[in-house]
Amino acid sequence: MNNLSVDHMLGIKYLNKNDIDLIFQTADNFKKIINQPIKKVPSLRDVTIANLFFENSTRTKLSFELAEKRLSADVINFSSASSSVKKGETLLDTVNNILAMKVDIIVMRHPNPGASVFLSRNISAKIVNAGDGTHEHPTQALLDSFSIREKYGEVAGKKIVIIGDILHSRVALSNIYCLKKLGAEVGVCGPSTLMPKYLDSLGVNHFSSLNAALKWCDVANVLRIQLERQDVQLLPSLREYSNVYGINKKVLDSLDKQITIMHPGPINRGVELTSDVADSEHSIILNQVENGVAIRMAVLYLLSIKKN
């Protein structure tokens, strides 16, 4: 199999294990290339990609742009803050106007869950979901599992706990789908107010104790508390959260084993992780960022060669 089963990258939910393996094998090759002195390949020459960001981003936006440039694509960037969206233009009108400029692939981050699925049903370009509200962030989950595979050789059989704001996290949902498709055991840990009601249907272990979760896992993927998505207060305070669920060196030293620390970023240092953990030898946070470029090159390349 050298072809994806999907025409768009809308969510991990729509991928099968062969798709994920193919993306990883392709990313292995691209990672070798981008670590050579000449980092560019002509794979997407004459392909035009528009990056549409309706929400803030550092890692995802820059990583997609770099991936596109390493593949020799023509790239245009759109930020809603400085666009005619501010004058009332709809999402569909905005995208149709961009497509009139002969764009082949749309990479979009949007605050509304389902925005990418909506576009895929209404326009003819290929769509890559770069994060849609609280729904999915597929390329983040792919780069996270790729980083676990790089560290341990394989993802199957590993125990990964996702800690924090599971309710509002597209990273959590995409990671749960991806890790389970790859045969990992998945746990979640955090305050009950930040757990989704449909948790049981996801087939994950639920830990209310941080210590129990860390003793169980090989890898802890630690999330940011997304206060901007909470319309009612779901925590007494960030200080309270940090006291109960924050990971510091003392917590790690109390375990009788070494675990790997991951974080999708941005980190709220001193809340979910202290700096002596985030910057320690346990952390693969910057490896995740590095792997993001190779994973996004793989996704864009495989979508571009997929015939409808």
Instruction: Verify binding: residue 174, ligand CP, rule CB under 6 A.
Output: no
How far is Cα 184 from Cα 154, in angstroms, rounded to an integer?
9
Question: Restricting to residues 134-153, which ones interact with ligand CP according to CB under 6 A?
Answer: 140
Catalytic residue at 274? Answer: no
Token output for 113: 């869950």
The nearer residue to ligand CP, 207 or 224, going by C-beta atoms, is 224
Question: Within 7-46, which residues bind ligand CP (CB under 6 A)?
Answer: none
Choice between 99 and 271, CB closer to ligand CP: 271
Binding flags for ligand CP, 60-89, as an x/- string (CB under 6 A): xx----------------------------
What is the residue type of 163?
I
Task: Count interface residues toward ligand CP (CB under 6 A).
Answer: 10
Token output for 83: 């666009």
Shortest spacing between CB 140 and ligand CP, in angstroms:
5
Least Å distance between CB 253 and ligand CP? Answer: 28
**Interface stretch with ligand CP, choices 31-39, 154-162, 215-223, 261-269 (CB under 6 A):** 261-269
Active-site residue flag, 121 = no
Query: Any contact of residue 57 with ligand CP (CB under 6 A)?
Result: yes
- Let me know if 58 is a catalytic residue: no
Closest CA to 222 of 152, 164, 157: 164
How far CA 169 is from CA of 45, 57, 161, 180, in Å, comes to 35, 15, 14, 17
Q: Do 245 and 271 contact (CB within 8 A), yes or no?
A: no
* Binds ligand CP (CB under 6 A): choice among 78, 265, 273, 298: 265
Shortest reach from residue 131's CB to ligand CP, in Å: 6
Q: Which residue of the set 8, 26, 48, 60 is catalytic?
A: 60
Q: What gap in Å lies between CA 281 and CA 54, rounded to an integer?
A: 35
Is there a contact between 213 and 207 (Cβ–Cβ < 8 Å)?
Answer: yes
229 binds ligand CP (CB under 6 A): no
The residue among 57 and 175 lying less far from ligand CP, judged by its C-beta, is 57
Among all chains, which residue has been given the structure tokens 């510091």?
248
Cα–Cα nearest to 43, from 75, 72, 63, 16: 72
Find the shortest distance in angstroms from Cβ 120 to ligand CP: 20
Cα separation of 305 and 308, whole Å? 10
Q: Is 135 a catalytic residue?
A: no
Task: Spell out, one character per residue from 105 to 134, where the chain touches ligand CP: x when CB under 6 A holds, - when not.
Answer: --------------------------x---
Cβ proximity of 63 and 288 under 8 Å: no
- Give the residue among 181, 171, 211 at the shortest CA–CA distance from 14: 181
Question: Using the rule CB under 6 A, is 97 a contact of ligand CP?
Answer: no
Interface pick for ligand CP out of 70, 264, 274, 302 (rule CB under 6 A):
264
Contact predicate 261/273, CB 8 Å: yes
Residue 178: closest CA among 139, 132, 225 = 139
58 is an interface residue for ligand CP by CB under 6 A: yes
By DSSP bridging, strand 48-53 and strand 105-110 are parallel
Which positions touch ligand CP (CB under 6 A)? Answer: 57-61, 131, 140, 264-266
Residues labelled as active-site residues = 59-60, 87, 109, 137
